[in-house]
């Protein structure tokens, strides 16, 4: 059986009823961050790659804000 790669969640919070999780991984020796978003209809990778947690958070919040604009 293949060994699955689980995300290394370093931060999680709720923003506008969306749960955002920031995961850390490494690529070419440098830390990179991914933002996962959980909501009523499922989950999505809102930010596939960011170089800092701050940037991943900012982009994830923008992703949520765009989705909320489409609902209104």
The structure's pTM equals 0.86
- Six-digit token pair at 41? 């209809």
pLDDT: which is higher, 26 or 2: 26
Select from 38, 1, 44, 45 the least CA-distant residue to 19. 38
Sign of CA dihedral 5, 55, 45, 9: positive
**Residue 36 and residue 29 in contact, taking contact as beta carbons nearer than 8 Å:** no
pLDDT for res 53 = 97
CA dihedral 22, 16, 68, 6 (to 10 degrees): 20
pLDDT: which is higher, 1 or 49: 49
Determine how many CB atoms are found less than 10 A away from the CB of residue 12.
Answer: 12
């Amino acid at each position: 059986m293949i060994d699955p790669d689980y995300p290394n969640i370093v931060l999680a919070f709720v923003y506008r009823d969306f749960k955002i999780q920031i995961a850390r991984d490494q690529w070419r020796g440098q830390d990179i961050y991914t933002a996962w978003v959980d909501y009523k209809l499922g989950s999505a990778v809102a930010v596939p790659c960011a170089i800092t947690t701050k940037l991943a958070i900012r982009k994830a919040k923008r992703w949520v804000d765009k989705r909320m604009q489409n609902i209104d």
